[in-house]
Copies of this chain bind each other. A is one copy, B any other.
């Protein structure tokens, strides 16, 4: 198939090539092209399946109108859904998003970053993975515009938009304590990432502020790679302990899914055998036999704001640093209902 040119459209429409160019570049208003003519040109362009040459266009403008989005794990619905929000928002602003998923692997993240830099995206939105600090420093030092999304590094000055994970986790602890639970476990990732450190810190503070002595056996840290097996081992250890925990917080969606599957396997009843609160959000929390209390992160707002910050940064690289922590909201449901409620039943 021959590539359709502006000239082809001009010939068919019986107008000049320049006029076609004006219309297709959205400049008909400036040049006072009549609306009927503009409409005709657009229709013919569509009919002939005209594809603007973005590359040529971007070589002229120095802009590609493309955003690179690197997410930590595409198979995690939180990230997949936030990617959808970023795309919609970018599209509304005339940008196309190219996505790479690094599967929580810093080496893969480097590859993706390089591929996207070489593909000349205008800027980046990044959900960082562990060990990728040097990549963020690299972007900074090369003055490539970027915004960190959902996860950030407190030691590196960057634009970011993330959830206040300390507060969210603190709220989860307080909620369980207020519901009458005292021995509260937390399953988290073994990670030095700030969001994970903050989730552990918030949980501990909630206990401390309520004079509950934190028992080191209550906190289990598992690896991302062997999550399935290690979550099982953690739950087994909880159940074998002298003083069993009464409630359990899952620090991520993935941990919750693996944990809930095993809890079902063991035929434990939620909440009477074990009350549950989880980070992350997904349909499964609604449809579980005992709806799961979760921390609703402001997914829409996180995604939209990351695009907004990036566009501002790209427009004016001298803009001041923008750093926003947003609050998660605890959505209380049956999985953490007041102990007095189910004990009375």
In angstroms, how far is the closest chain B Cβ from the Cβ of A299? 11
> Quick one: CB contact mask for A137-163 with B, threshold 8 Å, 1 for yes?
110011000000000000000000000
In angstroms, how far is the closest chain B Cβ from the Cβ of A80? 4
CA distance A287 to B74 in the complex (A): 21
> Quick one: CB contact mask for A116-155 with B, threshold 8 Å, 1 for yes?
1011100000000000001001100110000000000000
Which residues of B are found within 8 Å of A77, using beta-carbon distances? 75, 77, 80
Q: Which of A88, A91, A261, A287 has the most CB of B within 10 A?
A: A287
Given A55-B118, A98-B98, A1 and B142 contact (CB-CB distance below 8 Å): yes
* CB nearest to A289 among chain B residues: B289
Is A173 an interface residue when CB atoms closer than 8 A count as contact?
no
Task: Specify how many copies of this chain sit in the oligomer.
Answer: 2
The answer to whether B100 touches A112 (Cβ under 8 A) is no
> Quick one: CB contact mask for A51-74 with B, threshold 8 Å, 1 for yes?
111110010000010100000011
Contact of A66 among B88, B115, B137 (CB under 8 A): B115
Chain A interface category by residue count: 35 or more
Given A138-B49, A288-B288, A100 and B101 contact (CB-CB distance below 8 Å): no
Given A96-B112, A101-B83, A116-B98, A137 and B74 contact (CB-CB distance below 8 Å): no
Main secondary structure of the interface of A (DSSP, over half): helix
The answer to whether B287 touches A110 (Cβ under 8 A) is no
Given A74-B83, A80-B77, A96-B112, A287 and B284 contact (CB-CB distance below 8 Å): yes
Is A286 an interface residue when CB atoms closer than 8 A count as contact?
yes
Given A80-B80, A138-B49, A264-B287, A99 and B96 contact (CB-CB distance below 8 Å): no
> Quick one: CB contact mask for A65-107 with B, threshold 8 Å, 1 for yes?
0100000011101001101100110010000111111010000
In angstroms, how far is the closest chain B Cβ from the Cβ of A8? 15
Question: Which residues of A (279-331) have their CB < 8 Å from a CB of B?
Answer: 282-284, 286-289
* CB nearest to A65 among chain B residues: B115
The answer to whether A100 touches B96 (Cβ under 8 A) is yes
Is A232 an interface residue when CB atoms closer than 8 A count as contact?
no
* CB nearest to A83 among chain B residues: B74
Which residues of B are found within 8 Å of A111, using beta-carbon distances? 96
A-B contacts, 18 listed (Cβ < 8 Å): A49-B138, A51-B114, A51-B138, A54-B114, A74-B74, A75-B77, A75-B80, A75-B83, A77-B77, A84-B101, A87-B101, A98-B98, A98-B119, A119-B120, A257-B287, A261-B287, A282-B284, A288-B288
